[in-house]
Amino acid sequence: MVKILLDPSMYHPHLSVAEELHKARELGFNYLELSPRADFHEWHHYPKVDRHQIAEVKQAMKDTGVKIWTFNPVFDWASPDEQERQAQVRNWTRMLEIADALEVPLIATEFSGDPQRALQSEHQFYRSMEELIPVFEKYGLECTIEAHPYDFVEENDPAVQIIRGVDRDWLNYEFCFPHTYHLGRGARDPREMMDYAGDRLKHLHIADVFDHTANVGNRYIMNPPGVDARIHQHNEIGNGEVDWDSAFAYLREREYDGPMSVCVFGWEEEADAINVRMRERLLAEFDGD
């Protein structure tokens, strides 16, 4: 049975974490994936959480019956700058302590680093993992990592290989559907990429996206030509070009039973309706809660 998680990113500007748990219950979700927000774990910053916030969130989970299943922090543990890498490991250590306090079992994160210095970033990633493995194992936490656009690794297969290189049962791969056309450079089927991940595929991010590589790369125009940037969207299913019928059929064939995070961004004016429809679509496709 899959777990369907709500990423409440569209509610961050006006709801607290405790209020987001109540919003999740209102929308029918049993689980939350807490993405970066300034008052909790902002991108690359030390977590701004104290014991009073932890107590408030614990009470909200108790009151609603909604559990934070994953934290989704982004800390640059692969930074080529050694001082920055050490600071990010410090951020990670505190984040894992908070996860333990809130009984959050899974951390979903990114490789980060610098795609212009990919090999040096890979070295730094493994150095950080050596330091953090004992902390993850101390708290009994699991971790999934996605290859995010503009990380030091942006494609599916090398990302899976790097995770295999760590060789820990609790460290696995997350396939992010809204990054499909970066993960496969627009030329690969999600089924093929997920199949390559094999038993390392333990988490999915669910949102639709348009193929930025289509029309000879002219689907989206960025200036100046050749600018070092990446583009994608996190849209509702149907507002993009992912072949969901094929992808969902594949996941049923392999009897996927991990978490699926609904992560539509940028449509705040329709957030409630979109998140409800996304959850209903996943429940129509899979046995889940």
pLDDT of residue 80: 98
For residue 229, the model assigns a pLDDT of 72
- What's the rounded Cα separation, in Å, for the pair 128 and 93? 11
Q: What pLDDT, on a 0 to 100 scale, did the predictor assign at position 209?
A: 87
The pLDDT value recorded for residue 234 is 81
For the cut 70, the answer to whether the pLDDT of residue 213 exceeds it is yes
Domain ranges across the chain: 3-285
Of 215 and 119, which is predicted with more confidence? Answer: 119
pLDDT (mean) for 252-276: 95
Q: Would you state the pLDDT for residue 223? A: 74
**pLDDT digit string (tens) for 100-114?**
999 999 999 999 999
**How long a stretch of residues is the chain?**
289
- Report residue 216's pLDDT band, with 50, 70 and 90 as the boundaries: low
Q: What is the average per-residue pLDDT within 192-204?
A: 97
Nearest to 262 by CA among 280, 242, 250, 243: 280
- Percent of the chain scoring above 70 in pLDDT: 98
Q: How far apart are CA 101 and CA 103, in angstroms?
A: 6
Mean pLDDT value of segment 184-209: 92
- pLDDT range class, residue 227, cuts 50, 70, 90: confident
Mean pLDDT of 160-176: 98
**Residue 214 confidence (pLDDT):** 73
- pLDDT, tens only, 115-134: 999 999 999 999 999 999 99
Half-sphere exposure of 18 (CA within 13 A, CB side): 12
Positive or negative, the CA dihedral 129, 133, 134, 136 is positive
pLDDT value of residue 210:
81
CA–centroid distance for 190 within its chain: 17
| pLDDT at position 28 over 70 | yes
> What's the CATH number for 3-285?
3.20.20.150
Q: What does the pLDDT read at residue 184?
A: 86
Quote the CA–CA distance of 145 and 175 in Å, as a whole number.
8
Q: What is the mean pLDDT of the chain?
A: 94
Give, as one character, the DSSP assignment of residue 139.
Answer: H
- pLDDT-based confidence at 232, cuts 50/70/90? confident
Helices then strands, each counted (H, E), the chain: 10, 8
